[in-house]
Amino acid sequence: MITRRRSAAALLSVLAALTMFGASPASADDTTAPSAPTAKEPPKVELVLDVSGSMRAADIGGRSRISVAQQSFNEVVDSLPAETELGIRVLGASYPGNNKTLGCKDTQQLVPVGHPDRTEAKTAIATLRPTGFTPVGLALREAAKDLGSGTTTRRIVLITDGEDTCAPPDPCEVARELAAQGTHLVVDTLGLTLDDKVRRQLTCIAAATGGTYTAVQSGEELTGRIKQLVKRSGDTYDQTPQQVAGTAECATAPILTPGVYTDREQFEEHRYYRVPVAPGQELRASVSVSLDRPLARDYGVLLRAVAPDGRELVRGTDAGSGRTDVLSTGLRWSPEQTGDTATTDSATPATDSATAAADATTASADSSGTVCLVVSNSFSAPPTVRRAPGMPVELTVDTVAASPSPHGPDLGRGWVLLGVLGLAGLLTGLIVGWLARWRVAVWREN
């Protein structure tokens, strides 16, 4: 017993000595201590619903506009992605009087931006009754405050059946004001009426922030569109795109490092940007153009990489013939595709499955390793459609270690495969024929 106690005492003495002379715990100001990873900011979106008196109109499948909107909101709340923070703001929902000064201040946040309690949110939505004025501009300004600022794109989805009845502030001016603040805030607008004045105002709001306008004519369409926009809020970048201004020629174009950039492009314009690509690197670029206004049918977007002297290196294209939200295309190129030699006439694939199909012609960049990206479009529109500002453009640029290009179809391998398949078919036919003759012979004998 005494021996065991002495052994335990000796063990404790050794542990104490190790503690005294060993490495000391990391202190608060220890520069070698690992830093905690930065938490990714969740997607944030706020729905702004018009609850003014005109929402009583029963012209959507025989139902009132407000009841259709309430049902859509309920379905959106039920299907909200777990990571998305949602808020709901209303306008014209509480003041029933005729005093315009009071009525034009009527906007409240019904559900704070966050992870809402679904039952409470749907209960609050069910209490809404069409009431007052339509202070769209004020509601947008307050919704931007609700969403706050941060590193990711915020999204406002405005659902209304009428134009602003309270300007100032004019909602288009508010949208431009929000866009000029530097935070990447997108406003998408949904119109519950085909009124031309409403369409023009909602298109203006969306265009100022790079959002989209949609005319909604059914409950299913409203629900589907809101769900799509809420989901899209989770597909944005973790950083705010940097404002950049492309030029009309390569020599004066801004130099882009890997990142995300935003610009605006006029109809049938070519905008140039320069990207340094070192030997052993591969350029990967993509462009998305938001179609924020009605366009003439049959249009396209073209992204090219060219040498400073104008020789085309590679291209990616996307085209459409109807009303869509966005056109996107991409390309990839490295100096190794041409062996750092002069222009060749061979063609290689331009993109992988993650980008749009592209045609490619190869050439070499200049000796400095600078490649020019050119964004072009074939947009046109009726004379009544605004040309300015240009269409919202988002450009993603990256340079990575060059990877070998995938091998194209090999003619020799193709003939071998064809021969194998032909031989297999011949053998199969002989065996099937022999079995058929054998069965006929047996049947005749019986």
Mean of pLDDT over the chain: 80
Whether 350 is in a domain gets the answer yes
Do 133 and 171 belong together in one domain? yes
Whether 73 is in a domain gets the answer yes
Do 167 and 224 belong together in one domain? yes
Do 65 and 170 belong together in one domain? yes
Query: Can you tell me whether residue 294 is helix, strand or coil?
Result: coil
Quick one: average pLDDT of 427-437? 85
What pLDDT score does 88 carry? 98
Q: At what angle do helices 196-209 and 171-180 cross, to 10 degrees?
A: 10
Do 188 and 108 belong together in one domain? yes
**Highest mean pLDDT: which range of 76-90, 292-306, 363-377:** 76-90
**Ranges 129-133, 213-217, 313-317, 333-337: which has the least confidence:** 333-337
Quick one: average pLDDT of 304-321? 86
Quick one: average pLDDT of 181-187? 78
Rounded CA separation 103/132 (Å)? 6
Rounded CA separation 245/247 (Å)? 7
Quick one: average pLDDT of 344-355? 35
The single residue listed with the structure tokens 């174009």 is 253
Q: In which band, very low, low, confident or very high, does the pLDDT at 376 lie, cut at 50, 70 and 90? A: very high
What pLDDT score does 26 carry? 39
Please provide residue 172's backbone torsions phi and psi, each rounded to the nearest 5 degrees.
Answer: -65, -40
Query: What strand order describes the sheet that includes 107-114?
Result: 107-114, 85-91, 44-50, 154-160, 185-191, 213-215
- Nearest by Cα to 107 from 155, 71, 64, 160: 160
Given a contact cutoff of 8 angstroms between Cβ atoms, the answer to whether 81 and 116 are in contact is no
End-of-domain residue from the set 384, 401, 418: 401
Do 227 and 269 belong together in one domain? no
Do 271 and 151 belong together in one domain? no
- pLDDT cut 70: percent of the chain above it: 78
Do 336 and 286 belong together in one domain? yes
Whether 39 is in a domain gets the answer no
Query: Can you tell me whether residue 94 is helix, strand or coil?
Result: coil
Whether 37 is in a domain gets the answer no
Rounded CA separation 110/82 (Å)? 20
Whether 27 is in a domain gets the answer no
| pTM (predicted TM-score) | 0.56
Query: Can you tell me whether residue 424 is helix, strand or coil?
Result: helix
Q: In which band, very low, low, confident or very high, does the pLDDT at 375 lie, cut at 50, 70 and 90? A: very high
End-of-domain residue from the set 380, 401, 422: 401
Rounded CA separation 381/185 (Å)? 26
Instruction: Please state the domain count of the chain.
Output: 2
Q: In which band, very low, low, confident or very high, does the pLDDT at 94 lie, cut at 50, 70 and 90? A: very high
Do 219 and 154 belong together in one domain? yes
Rounded CA separation 365/304 (Å)? 13
Quick one: average pLDDT of 364-369? 52
What pLDDT score does 9 carry? 45
Q: In which band, very low, low, confident or very high, does the pLDDT at 332 lie, cut at 50, 70 and 90? A: confident
What pLDDT score does 14 carry? 37
**Ranges 118-122, 128-132, 172-176, 366-370: which has the least confidence:** 366-370
The single residue listed with the structure tokens 């990142």 is 259
Q: Which domain holds residue 186?
A: 44-233
CATH of the domain at 53: 3.40.50.410
End-of-domain residue from the set 233, 268, 288: 233
Do 179 and 324 belong together in one domain? no
Do 202 and 268 belong together in one domain? no
CATH of the domain at 280: 2.60.120.380
144-170: pLDDT as tens digits? 999 998 777 789 999 999 889 999 999
The single residue listed with the structure tokens 């640029």 is 397
Whether 407 is in a domain gets the answer no
Reply yes or no on whether the pLDDT at 38 is more than 90: no
What pLDDT score does 169 carry? 92
Q: In which band, very low, low, confident or very high, does the pLDDT at 2 lie, cut at 50, 70 and 90? A: very low
Reply yes or no on whether the pLDDT at 207 is more than 80: no
What pLDDT score does 442 carry? 79
Do 265 and 192 belong together in one domain? no
Reply yes or no on whether the pLDDT at 352 is more than 60: no
Reply yes or no on whether the pLDDT at 417 is more than 60: yes
Which residue would you say has higher pLDDT here, 357 or 79? 79
Do 305 and 385 belong together in one domain? yes
Which residue would you say has higher pLDDT here, 12 or 298? 298
Whether 13 is in a domain gets the answer no
Rounded (to 5) percent helix, strand, coil in the chain: 30, 25, 45
Quick one: average pLDDT of 208-226? 89
Reply yes or no on whether the pLDDT at 408 is more than 60: no
What pLDDT score does 213 carry? 87
- Nearest by Cα to 107 from 85, 126, 131: 131
**Ranges 145-154, 201-210, 436-445: which has the least confidence:** 436-445
What pLDDT score does 237 carry? 55
- Nearest by Cα to 329 from 402, 399, 396: 396
* Dihedral sign from CA coordinates of 30, 31, 36, 38: positive
Whether 264 is in a domain gets the answer yes
Reply yes or no on whether the pLDDT at 31 is more than 90: no
The per-residue b/e assignment along 232-253, b for 16 or more CB within 10 angstroms, e otherwise, is: bbbebeeebbeebebeeebeeb
